[in-house]
Amino acid sequence: MKYKVEIYEDDDLGELMIDVPKEIGFVVDLVLSDIQEAKSGIRLDLVNKVLSKESAFEEITGNSCTMEINYDMTKIIFEFAWEGALDHCFIETEELKKIFLLWDEAIEKKYGGSN
Q: pLDDT (tens digit, 9 = 90+) per residue, 47-60?
A: 999 999 999 999 99
The domain limits of the chain are: 6-114
Please answer whether residues 12 and 106 qualify as being in contact, where contact means their C-beta atoms are separated by less than 8 angstroms: no
Give per-residue burial for 93-104: e unless 16+ CB within 10 Å, then b: bebbbebbebbb
CA separation for the pair 103, 115 (Å, rounded): 12
Read off the pLDDT of residues 11-40 as tens digits, 9 standing for 90 and up: 888 899 999 999 999 999 999 999 988 899
Angle between helices 93-111 and 41-51 (to 10 degrees): 150
pTM for the full model? 0.92
Phi, psi for residue 28 in degrees, rounded to 5: -60, -50
Looking at residue 114, its pLDDT comes to 54
Side chain identity at residue 104, one-letter code: D
Residue 113 clears pLDDT 70, i.e. is over it: no
